[in-house]
């Protein structure tokens, strides 16, 4: 079986270090706050090229706290790409603002600049730039628009740990960036965890206070905040994994490069495009075909696991019927039934990738005559 993701194998490869880190936290009863969190915040900020990092409970909280820290007028419009996980859009609505969907780029699936420009209004106060599948958005274009319109850029980096735009790590290129450390991410904890990064000292202080009941000192609550703590156990695990992330990322890219080379030229199979200025970290390697479900079944019969991200575009979800965006002629709305995620990760070898390639070529030679 070629696994889509192999967290057990990953754990076994670093078992001694992870077990030791967990045991150290337990032996000190240092569960809330502590040295491991401080170390992770410092090291992850440095890794991503940011001045500040604030650990929080999960990636969705990171988005909501980041939006709250911007102190936008009530019911501001925030533009979100139509192809993403619902956390990107629900964070907007749950923060008291209006989500406005725009399309995604048909080649790399990040936010479409052309579609975005059509959605800008006087009520637009922020753009949520989702570095989807680990491919960075076109940040120069977004920053130019932000400056022209006096709006904020929030980077959703849940799938983009170590991704780079023109040699700069994502997350602190815009005003504020958010990360998820959900177990399946490129850098994943053993439960929920997340982080916020920024180069803005005011936003750093504000987000830290929001996440900690509106306080800096124990009982000196300046305003009502929330409880969104990254616990010390998860931080300890992430500290171990962070040391390996760069090597794991290089392996992901090597597998992706093999797919791109060996799957090129197949009729009715659309491969993702990596822009020259991008370091894509391939949280997901997503292909597109109008025989997606048949190909997925065929691969599973060959003991190759695949995934679908995401089977329903955000505007077509029942949760957003009230926006009436499902009928818009978005590329994302038309192609959500074609997306298929191939196995990707440091657990794969080139031999594994070759097995996947041969199976896909077999399918199209047999079924796409």
pLDDT in tens, 71-125: 999 999 999 999 999 999 999 999 999 999 999 999 999 999 999 999 999 999 9
Strands 152-156, 124-130: pairing is parallel
Cα 80 to Cα 91, 115, 260, 294, 299, distances in angstroms: 10, 11, 28, 31, 33
For the stretch 172-231, pLDDT in tens is: 999 999 999 999 999 999 999 999 999 999 999 999 999 999 998 888 999 999 999 999
Beta strands 124-130 and 77-81: pairing type?
A: parallel
Structure tokens, 79 = 């533009």
What confidence score (pLDDT) does residue 28 get? 94
Closest CA to 336 of 100, 104, 158: 104
**What percent helix, strand, coil does the chain show, rounded to 5?**
45, 15, 40
Please give the average per-residue pLDDT across 290-315, as a whole number: 97
- The answer to whether 348 touches 252, Cβ cutoff 8 Å, is no
Sheet with 194-198, side-by-side order of all strands: 52-56, 194-198, 176-180, 152-156, 124-130, 77-81, 98-102
CA 310 to chain centre: 13
Contact 188, 241 (CB under 8 A): yes
The region of weakest confidence among 43-57, 157-171, 216-230 is: 216-230
Q: CA–CA distance from 206 to each of 65, 69, 71, 91, 201 (Å)?
A: 9, 6, 10, 17, 9
78-to-63, 112, 128, 176 alpha-carbon distances in Å: 12, 15, 7, 14
Cα pseudo-dihedral 41, 43, 45, 51, rounded to 10: 90
Query: Residue 320: pLDDT band by 50, 70, 90 thresholds?
Result: very high
Other Cβ atoms within 10 Å of 350 Cβ, number: 14
Omega prior to 318 cis, within 30 of 0? no
- Nearest residue to 285 (alpha-carbon basis) of 208, 347, 345, 364: 345
Give the 3-state secondary structure of residue 339: strand
- Kind plus residue range of the DSSP H or E element containing 245: helix 245-262
């Amino acid at each position: 079986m070629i696994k889509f993701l192999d967290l057990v194998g990953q754990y076994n490869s670093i078992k001694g270090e992870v077990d030791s880190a967990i045991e150290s936290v337990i032996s000190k009863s240092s569960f809330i706050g502590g040295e491991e969190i401080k170390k992770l915040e410092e090291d992850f900020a440095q890794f991503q090229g940011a001045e500040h990092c604030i650990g929080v409970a999960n990636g969705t909280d990171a988005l909501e706290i980041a939006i709250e820290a911007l102190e936008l007028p009530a019911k501001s419009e925030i533009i979100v790409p139509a192809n993403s996980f619902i956390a990107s859009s629900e964070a907007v609505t749950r923060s008291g603002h209006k989500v406005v969907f725009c399309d995604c780029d048909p080649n790399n699936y990040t936010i479409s600049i052309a579609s975005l420009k059509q959605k800008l209004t006087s009520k637009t106060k922020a753009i949520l730039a989702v570095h989807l599948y680990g491919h960075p958005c076109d940040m120069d274009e977004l920053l130019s628009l932000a400056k022209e319109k006096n709006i904020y850029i929030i980077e959703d980096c849940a799938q983009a740990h170590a991704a780079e735009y023109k040699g700069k790590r994502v997350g602190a290129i815009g005003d504020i960036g958010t990360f998820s450390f959900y177990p399946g991410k490129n850098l994943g904890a053993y439960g929920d965890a997340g982080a916020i990064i920024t180069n803005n000292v005011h936003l750093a202080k504000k987000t830290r206070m929001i996440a900690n009941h509106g306080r800096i000192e124990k009982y000196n609550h300046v305003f009502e905040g929330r409880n969104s703590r990254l616990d010390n156990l998860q931080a300890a695990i992430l500290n171990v994994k962070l040391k390996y992330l760069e090597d794991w990322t290089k392996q992901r890219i090597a597998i992706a490069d093999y797919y791109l080379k060996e799957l090129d030229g197949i009729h009715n199979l659309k491969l993702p495009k990596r822009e020259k200025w991008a370091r894509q970290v391939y949280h997901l390697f997503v292909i597109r075909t109008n025989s997606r479900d048949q190909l997925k079944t065929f691969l599973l019969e060959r003991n190759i696991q695949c995934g679908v991200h995401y089977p329903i575009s955000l505007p077509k979800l029942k949760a957003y019927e009230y926006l009436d965006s499902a009928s818009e002629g978005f590329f994302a709305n038309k192609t959500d039934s074609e997306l298929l995620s191939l196995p990707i990760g440091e657990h794969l070898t080139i031999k594994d990738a070759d097995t996947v390639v041969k199976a896909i070529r077999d399918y199209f030679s047999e079924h796409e005559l």
